[in-house]
Structure 1
Amino acid sequence: MELVRELATALVLPGWSQRRARLPLAIALLVVGVAFPLVVAVWAVVSGRNWVALSLDRTFLAWVLAAFVAALAARLVALAMWFAAGSRSRERTVAGALAALVAVVPLSVGIVDVAQARSDIAPVFTPTADGGAVFDPDGDGDDDDPTGTTLPTVDVEPVTSVDAVERPWERGPLPTIEMGSTTTTQPRVKPARPRSGVDPAVVADVRNILLLGGDAGPGRSGLRTDTMMLLSVHTPSGRASLVSLPRDMEGLLFPPGSALEARYPYGFTELANAVYPIVSASSSLRSAYETDGDIRPGIVATAQAIGYSLDVPIHDYVLVDMQGFLDLVDALGGVTVRVTKQIPMPGNVPGAKYDYPPTIGPGTIEMDGTLALGYVRSRYADSDYQRTRRQRDLLAAMAQQISAVEVLSRYDQVLDAVGGTLRTSLTPDELADTVALIGGETAIVESVGLVPPLINVKRPDVQRMAEIVGEVRVAIAQGTASGY
């Protein structure tokens, strides 16, 4: 019994039994093996931070890793001292070996798990180099300069090696004017910069986050941003809006002086979801859109196109690709969605874990990642524009049903899904708060799609788009309805 007591003391309070013979060493072992891990645990509790945010914070995980290592080292030293202090009987050796296993195995597992977690989330959080916006049309971090066009995160020289004259087959013939027997060609005029007309003081507390869903996954090369949403949050009240841009919108504008503006001076002639792959596939464009931070050039270019076209600063972004979405839904245990009508399912996407049924709904359906991905990608039920509505609805349902307990109970699976496919400029706390906000019962007070009949996606009125987004931001800031 005395043997058990000694070993328990060595494991629970390393150094305590040596306090009379070796006081300095005993104090050091107690501080390293007990006090330090306890301080880390208490700090985590009293910090008031969201547990999901803590579990995604590499700095916090580094402290946890250090606490595990310190606890293991202190107990191994205490056990070594206990061995050295007594006789070498077989009973004592066996008991000491078992005690060492009790100390080593769980702490070693903890060290490996935390180290793996830090490695998994290392590429996820990619803040801007100076902590500023991903794109600000005025270059000053807010909306108070109606004339500036400085790009804060990308310093781009005008591209002279690319033909800046629009090729006639890209947009049809130039307009002509009939004057009697003479026909003259009217020069094409570059589009004016869109203006939202928003009072900067009204939206000073509105933060704008670009949510991107990519179609990358097994069997697919490159990435197109098939899902593009602007999440605007009025930080004092928590009111938020989601505005969707369809993937097939044409005519996005680029900031003056940027590389893509030199190529497409009269508006983007490709679909909106092609900005990312066009930049990613060109070494010169990648170089033009590189930043001091670690944000992918395709994201920077997409943020510039959307931010400039809508006259809105984009402070942060979140990108999730197709396979990551599927894996993340599975890792979180699925999502329950109320489907209001029968939805024909698409052909199986690469990475799907089984064949889709012909249709789903109507009714309340429990979806795993495979089914959820098919639900948000189906275009046969209604239209590509209604699909953006389903994407917004599913996003809100997922956020509403996620709990810290679920995340922590499936920690390894969640990190495995998140680490390989999620990229964001948000901090862990901001990401956790954003997820909680999207899932709130009344947080999303405005949900708008820039689609027909509101907007003609083939010949979009970007000025009108900027005004709509401006009115939506004003609405969430003032607590009124935008009417859209």
Structure 2
Amino acid sequence: LVFYAVLWLVTTLNAFTLLRLVRTAPSARGWLAALTAVTIVVATGGAGYAAYLTGVGRDALGAVFAGGGIVEPIDGRYTVLLLGGDAGPDRLGLRPDSITLASIDASSGAVTLIGVPRNLYNAPIPPESPLYEAWPNGFDCGDDCLISYLYPWAEERPELYPTAAATGSSPGIEAMRDAVEGVTGLPVQFTVLIDMAGFEDLIDALGGVVIDVEEPITLGINGGPVVGEIAAGEQRMDGETALWYARSRYNLTDFDRMEHQRDVQEAMLRQLDPTTVLTRFESIADASSDLVRTDVPQSMIGVFTDLAVRGRELPLRRLELVPPTIDNVQPDYALARILVAEAVAPLPTPTPTP
């Protein structure tokens, strides 16, 4: 693209000199000079800007995505664990505040979002996990062993996952992967971690999201001051508002917040289109490079982009492993896995109308 920009500039200027402007009629000199200038600006400037965006994209892909080749789906589906971290300028350390397993049909792109409560007790650990020796009966130390606490526990023991950093992951992320596999019975192929600041910046980079709010949402923390309200109805939210919607605890339970987090995730899936990506590419890349961590290889970007385009047009299924169906303190994991298997089962093929 840089070569094309330079070539076009040289060619245009060469053509302009061949015109011998001083020998042309005075009435033609102005528009010939203007045409040449416009040609240089549009063609050379366009190619130069495209080269710049290509560099931004290359840098962003290298900073965010891991290396590796094409990964095949398992039983016809891809699985991506989405973790929303609670790190921020007013917090010490990080724990996953939002835990979602996205199961994606590798043929149709149909998506099932499985919500795992952050305050889930006694998460079962698969026998092949490095965590199993310490927790053979599950993560079972009571109030100090909510599933989200596995992240900092593993971060303090990096020897359990010595190769995590080299693959674009971390001990905490790998521990969450193992625990979610134990809870859902599904293999977790990929992980994505984004912190609160990253979430807010990414929503702003996308130009906001539109969410249909069922009931007014009071903004604040239980026991703290009210700082605002999100009115009922269809609302276009910027990053700060969307973050409040996903995290506000005022007169809400953790399970209400999970529903709101899923609303935001679905809105992003429905509203992120190629036009948005092209027109806001630089800001999206800037928001992602420093604040998103994933082990999805660059080679899978095309596969997931294609599936995302197809999945936007299909119904999105949501399963929340929450009370009263699944008690978070004394969970029935056998039932949870049955519900998960039903939720990710292929949609029935519609019967053609005669």
Q: In the alignment, which residue of structure 1 is the partner of 2:231?
A: 361
For 1:472 and 1:479, the matched residues in 2 are separated by 16
The answer to whether the Cα contact below 8 Å between 1:326 and 1:373 also exists between their aligned partners in 2 is yes
Q: In the alignment, which residue of structure 2 is the partner of 1:307?
A: 181
**Residues 376 and 470 of structure 1, relative CA distance in 2, 3 Å threshold:** same
For 2:264 and 2:39, the matched residues in 1 are separated by 49
After TM superposition, list the pairs within 5 Å mapping 1:227-238 onto structure 2: 227-238=98-109
Cα displacement (A) at 1:400: 1.6
For 2:290 and 2:311, the matched residues in 1 are separated by 23
Cα displacement (A) at 1:81: 7.7
For 1:227 and 1:437, the matched residues in 2 are separated by 25
**Residues 434 and 251 of structure 1, relative CA distance in 2, 3 Å threshold:** farther
Aligned partner of 1:388 among 258, 268, 271? 258
Aligned residues: 328
Q: In the alignment, which residue of structure 2 is the partner of 1:282?
A: 157
Aligned partner of 1:333 among 207, 217, 220? 207
For 1:222 and 1:400, the matched residues in 2 are separated by 32
Unaligned runs of 5+ in 1: 1-67, 90-94, 134-140, 143-203, 348-354
Aligned partner of 1:420 among 275, 283, 290? 290
1:465 and 2:340 matched: no
CA offsets per residue over residues 238-286 of structure 1, 9 Å max, x none? 4332210001112112222533212222211321112222222333234
The answer to whether the Cα contact below 8 Å between 1:328 and 1:369 also exists between their aligned partners in 2 is yes
Q: Please, what TM-score do these two structures have when normalized by structure 2?
A: 0.79
For 1:472 and 1:100, the matched residues in 2 are separated by 56
Cα displacement (A) at 1:358: 2.7
CA offsets per residue over residues 396-447 of structure 1, 9 Å max, x none? 122222222222112211111122223341622234345445643x421x31
**Residues 83 and 370 of structure 1, relative CA distance in 2, 3 Å threshold:** closer
Q: In the alignment, which residue of structure 2 is the partner of 1:207?
A: 78
1:322 and 2:196 matched: yes
For 2:3 and 2:240, the matched residues in 1 are separated by 43
Aligned partner of 2:134 among 253, 256, 263? 263
After TM superposition, list the pairs within 5 Å mapping 1:70-219 onto structure 2: 70-75=3-8, 102=41, 107-126=47-66, 129=68, 131-132=70-71, 142=74, 204-219=75-90
The answer to whether the Cα contact below 8 Å between 2:210 and 2:267 also exists between their aligned partners in 1 is yes
Q: Please, what TM-score do these two structures have when normalized by structure 1?
A: 0.59
**Residues 472 and 218 of structure 1, relative CA distance in 2, 3 Å threshold:** same
For 1:415 and 1:116, the matched residues in 2 are separated by 7
The answer to whether the Cα contact below 8 Å between 1:320 and 1:422 also exists between their aligned partners in 2 is yes
For 1:205 and 1:405, the matched residues in 2 are separated by 29
For 1:82 and 1:334, the matched residues in 2 are separated by 46
For 1:438 and 1:212, the matched residues in 2 are separated by 21
Q: In the alignment, which residue of structure 2 is the partner of 1:430?
A: 303
Q: In the alignment, which residue of structure 2 is the partner of 1:161?
A: none
| Counterpart AA for 2:148 | N
| Counterpart AA for 2:64 | V
**Residues 75 and 394 of structure 1, relative CA distance in 2, 3 Å threshold:** closer
For 1:301 and 1:335, the matched residues in 2 are separated by 31
Secondary structure of the 2:160 match is helix
Q: In the alignment, which residue of structure 1 is the partner of 2:315?
A: 443
Secondary structure of the 2:329 match is coil
For 2:349 and 2:97, the matched residues in 1 are separated by 31
For 2:281 and 2:293, the matched residues in 1 are separated by 18
Secondary structure of the 1:263 match is coil
Unaligned runs of 5+ in 2: 23-32
Q: Which runs of 4+ in 1 moved over 6 A?
A: 79-87, 97-101
Q: In the alignment, which residue of structure 2 is the partner of 1:273?
A: 148
Cα displacement (A) at 1:71: 0.9
Secondary structure of the 2:133 match is helix
The answer to whether the Cα contact below 8 Å between 1:397 and 1:439 also exists between their aligned partners in 2 is no
Q: Aligned Cα RMSD in Å?
A: 3.4
For 2:49 and 2:319, the matched residues in 1 are separated by 48
Cα displacement (A) at 1:82: 8.2
For 1:124 and 1:107, the matched residues in 2 are separated by 25
The answer to whether the Cα contact below 8 Å between 1:398 and 1:439 also exists between their aligned partners in 2 is no
